[in-house]
Every structure is written in structure tokens, then in C-alpha cells.
Amino acid sequence: MSDRPLKLLLIDQDPIFRLGLRVALEVIPDIEVISEAETDTTALQILAELAHNDPNCVNLVVLELGNGYSISSQQIGLQLCRHLKIQYPYLPVLLLSSTQEQEILLAAKAEGVNGYCPKGVPVTELVTAIKEVAAGRLSWYGDVGRPGGQGGQGDRVDKVD
């Protein structure tokens, strides 16, 4: 890993969750949260502004699919993933979500999302996933995509180099 910190953009509708995540990650010396957004529109605007000044200013997007619960909100989150992968194809995306629905997680995977962690994992596991995804590897918690899989239930097992 480089001496430069990983620079993250956090996207989540819940301002308290974003604050808690930012505070939890502040103590990790090689991770820096450079911006955060509440909505998909705001996230795309922030990313465009940051990329205009420095195309490599964000190393990873960590996002929740909408509010994480309603199907319509999750669909908007999937559209955001699609837009991110079209506009910034080399920018890794880590889904940090309360959803554990196999169908939604598979759809996120199909949109090019590079990893998934359920909300509530220990910070150490999240940091591991952040570093793996930022390094260009896939990191999917649980058995997402496996026949008969139950989404995010279980241990993080899918790491692909």
C-alpha cells in the first residue's frame, strides 16, 4: 500500500450514520474521508467537482443503496452505482448496507459494485474490506452470488484477486 491515505467518499441518507462512520475511520491512519453526501444527486455533483480538480482525488466510494430498506430507494441506489461505473469506471465502489436481500446484492454486483459489507460489522472488518476493494480486489461478505446463498448472512468469504 502507498504512503498516501485512501480517500473515501461516503454516501448514505442517514447523517448520524455518516458521522459515526467518519469518526470511526478517523483513527485509521491510512484512510481519509474527504467528502460525504446524503443523496445520489449530491454525490455525483461532489464527485464531479472533486474529479475536475484532481481525477484521482477519490480512491473509493462507500455507499448505502438509498435508505437500505425500501425497494424503490434501493433501485435509486442501483442506478447511482450504474452511473458511477459509467462515469468513473476505475473508481471502486463498496456497498455498506443494511440490506441482506440476495436479489438486491446480486443486482449491485451486476452493476459493477466491487464489494459488500453489512452495516453492523466490526470496524476492523470494514477497514479490511475498504482496503481490499481500494486495492482492486472484490470483497463480498457472506455467500452473495452462490447458489442458495442468503445474501449477507455468514462470514466474509468471497475475496478475489
pLDDT score of 151 = 46
Tell me what percent of the chain is helix, strand and coil, each rounded to the nearest 5: 40, 20, 40
pLDDT digits (tens, 9 = 90+) for 72-114: 888 889 999 999 999 999 999 999 999 989 999 999 999 999 9
CATH number for the region 6-160 comes to: 3.40.50.2300
Q: Is 32 exposed, middle or buried (0-12, 13-18, 19+ CB in 10 A)?
A: middle
Report CA-CA distances (Å) from 61 to 3, 47, 153, 161: 20, 10, 23, 19
Report CA-CA distances (Å) from 158 to 114, 115, 132: 11, 9, 11
E runs forming strands in 45-106: 60-63, 93-97
Is a pLDDT exceeding 60 seen at residue 152? no
